[in-house]
Chains A and B, each alone.
Chain A
Amino acid sequence: MNTLMTIEKQTSIDFPVEETRRDFPILSTSVHDHPLVYLDNAATTQKPQMVLDAIDRYYRAENSNVHRGVHFLSELATKKYEAARGTVRKFLNAGSEREIIFVRGTTDAINLVAATFGRKNVQAGDEVLVTGLEHHSNIVPWQMLCEEKGAKLRVAPINAIGEVLLDEFAGMLSGKIKIAAISHVSNALGTVNPVKQMIQMAHQHGIPVLVDGAQAVPHMRVDVRDLDADFYAFSAHKVFGPTGLGILYGKTRLLGSMPPYQGGGDMIKSVTFEKTIFNDIPYKFEAGTPHIAGAIGLAAAIDYMNHFDGKALQQYEQTLLRSAHEKLAAIQGLRIIGDAREKAGVVSFILKGIHPHDIGTILDQEGIAIRTGHHCAQPVMQKFGIPATARASFAFYNTLNEIDELVNAIHKVKEVFGHV
């Protein structure tokens, strides 16, 4: 109790959470007559006023198509769209803006790599390596590729606390594997994979690595050059930006050697009915009118995040996570699923005799939003022998108070079910 009180005191000084909450209009709304307690941040995050304003401003005063017109608005929209690319480059510490491709989301980014790099480099008898922690979007595109090519999808297993077994991972690395696709942070369990180490291990065998960073970028500073990631994917809506936009980072050498993903305008230099000359990267991978407002919104979200001291933010989130772990684990009949030594943002749990779906409904009546189900990670659920979990996931605008409300509401769930 004493240690918790110290933590609460410290964090209220270190991180201005109440002030931060005022930046997010939705956080002051009510659900079922209770103040909203939003703990479903791994599904999507809420948007600060800065992002809402940037998108609003774009459509009100700057809207035009990019890379086309010579008129004022088109040049303005193009400038802002390309400036957003620059903001993302800095955010990931990529070497060049040419390495930043705007896509629809993480899923789209992974599909892009599977359909271009994968189709070109994976042949019959080859292998693609993923981990047992992946969610469906980092499994299915590779499965489809393997089926098409007669290749084999291999899975590096995880242990009972939800960590990838590095020895097993190392043992699977061979010349047969043409690409490894691993999540930086697990969406279902919150496990932080040692991706830098895993990339090094894969590179020793000449294997390029795609990192699914959807759950990592909201919680930690990512440096793609330090990681030496070959591809890195994330979604804007999970870092306080708009839906419908994502980023694929790829090393110039790899992107340059890949065939285009989709055909259309903007991805070409010249078109005749006989032959089309494709544009250079990144435009080669951006067919059609892009999500301009999305890119501008993401840039605003990154600018917003840059206001904070990254370290303080991460420390505060770890405090939330630790508090949630301790308080939830103390509830009788509650079992936390996934207790990796390094975790970010997520606590998955089950209650004895009460299905997660029922937990979700009862919590919702208290104004608390959590996710219940298999989290699009059915193989992870199968590994733990459960159909589903309840998952609370945090962002820096959550408070220790909200964790107490979560705990109280779980006691209410038990009360409704007569498990007092």
Chain B
Amino acid sequence: MSDLKALYQEIILDHNRNPRNFKKMEDASCSVDGYNPLCGDHYTIYLKLVNEIITEISFQGSGCAISKASASVMSTVLKGKTRAEAGVWFENFHHLVRGENKNEKSIEEFGKLAAFAGVSEFPARVKCAILPWHTMKNALEEKKETVSTE
């Protein structure tokens, strides 16, 4: 049970039960679908970027507790961050859930995201935690492309 408690921490269960920013955004700058065909997890991430800052972020979709909580916590963490900061958080989160965070960053610095450290003990679930982040990153990059074409 101890490993399970590390995986299903109270923050994760809470965000799974009551996901934050769980809504469609009509005036999003960009939205991207993320889909894990293996387990059927399916999310849409909506971003609003103003002057390189994520002023709004929301999501919709369905999936397991890990993926849903990951999307929810991510939305609370990234709101107000710049595009560049979001990119850094993406890398940090990746390292955290893959268990590759070799003292580069203390666990306290992760704040709420630290709740996902236990995922690294469950290799089959790493992709659940990462799916919303990948989707968010694609949304960020799609915006970049749009900006560059304009």
Interface residues of A (CB under 8 A from B): 32, 353-358, 361-362, 365, 372-374, 381, 387-388, 412, 416-418
Q: A355-B68, A374-B40 are in contact. List 7 more A-B contacts (CB 8 A).
A: A355-B63, A356-B64, A358-B8, A373-B40, A387-B63, A388-B40, A417-B13
> Quick one: which of B5, B64, B122 has the most chain A CB within 10 A?
B64
Give chain A nearest CB distance to B120 CB in angstroms.
14
A355–B68 alpha-carbon span in the complex (Å): 10
Give chain B nearest CB distance to A140 CB in angstroms.
14
A412 contact set on B, CB distance < 8 A: 1
* B128 engages A417 (CB within 8 Å): no
Interface residues of B (CB under 8 A from A): 1, 3-5, 7-8, 13, 17, 38-42, 62-66, 68, 122, 124-125, 128
Residue of B with least CB distance to A418: B13
Residue of A with least CB distance to B128: A357
A362 contact set on B, CB distance < 8 A: 4, 8
Given A362-B4, A416-B8, A417-B65, does the pair A387, B42 have CB atoms closer than 8 Å? yes
Residue of B with least CB distance to A412: B1
Given A355-B64, A358-B65, does the pair A372, B39 have CB atoms closer than 8 Å? yes
B124 contact set on A, CB distance < 8 A: 361
Give chain A nearest CB distance to B44 CB in angstroms.
15
* B40 engages A416 (CB within 8 Å): no
* B39 engages A417 (CB within 8 Å): no
Give chain B nearest CB distance to A306 CB in angstroms.
37
| Contact pick for A388, options B7, B13, B39, B68, CB 8 Å | B39
B13 contact set on A, CB distance < 8 A: 416-418
* B62 engages A387 (CB within 8 Å): yes
A358–B128 alpha-carbon span in the complex (Å): 10
B68 contact set on A, CB distance < 8 A: 355
| Contact pick for A361, options B5, B17, B122, CB 8 Å | B122
